[in-house]
């Protein structure tokens, strides 16, 4: 028998180099990692909007868009891994509820850009939010 060993030392973190958003439904913390910030083109004074496609019920169909006004104001946290953050317990709970996720913390990968009228949004891949 030829066995291949898998452990914490030889498996890379799934987050390495991936654009993702961490969310916490208890504190409302939404943290956009540096790769996701780069893809979204987020800077110091930018804000974000979230959209949900109400016509599709698969996977919640959520999107994120960078905006200049009327969005969630971002704070830059260099000491926490160069992330942009904001707080909204209500938003995180809505996203978690829409995909049936019962956990407190979760991660959502950023997908491809989608054009919808005047909006250029990025898909939020909510498939990673699974109950154990």
- Retrieve residue 119's tokens: 């909006």
pLDDT at 8: 64
What are the residue boundaries of the structural domains of the chain, listed by start?
20-128
Extract the residue ranges of the chain whose pLDDT is less than 50. Answer: 59
For residue 69, give the DSSP letter.
Answer: S
Q: Is the pTM of this model over 0.95?
A: no
> Is 19 within 8 Å of 39 (Cβ atoms)?
yes
């Amino acid at each position: 028998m030829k066995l291949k060993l898998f452990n914490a030392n030889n498996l890379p973190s799934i987050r390495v180099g991936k654009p993702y958003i961490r969310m916490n439904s208890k504190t409302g913390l939404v943290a956009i990692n540096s790769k996701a910030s780069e893809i979204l083109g987020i800077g110091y004074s930018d804000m974000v909007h979230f959209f949900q496609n109400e016509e599709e019920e698969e996977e919640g169909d959520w999107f994120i868009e960078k905006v200049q006004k009327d969005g969630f104001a971002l704070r830059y946290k260099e000491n926490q891994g160069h992330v942009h953050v904001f707080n909204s317990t209500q938003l995180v709970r809505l996203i978690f509820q829409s995909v049936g996720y019962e956990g407190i913390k979760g991660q959502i990968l950023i997908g491809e850009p989608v054009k919808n009228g005047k909006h250029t949004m990025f898909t939020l891949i909510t498939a990673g939010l699974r109950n154990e």
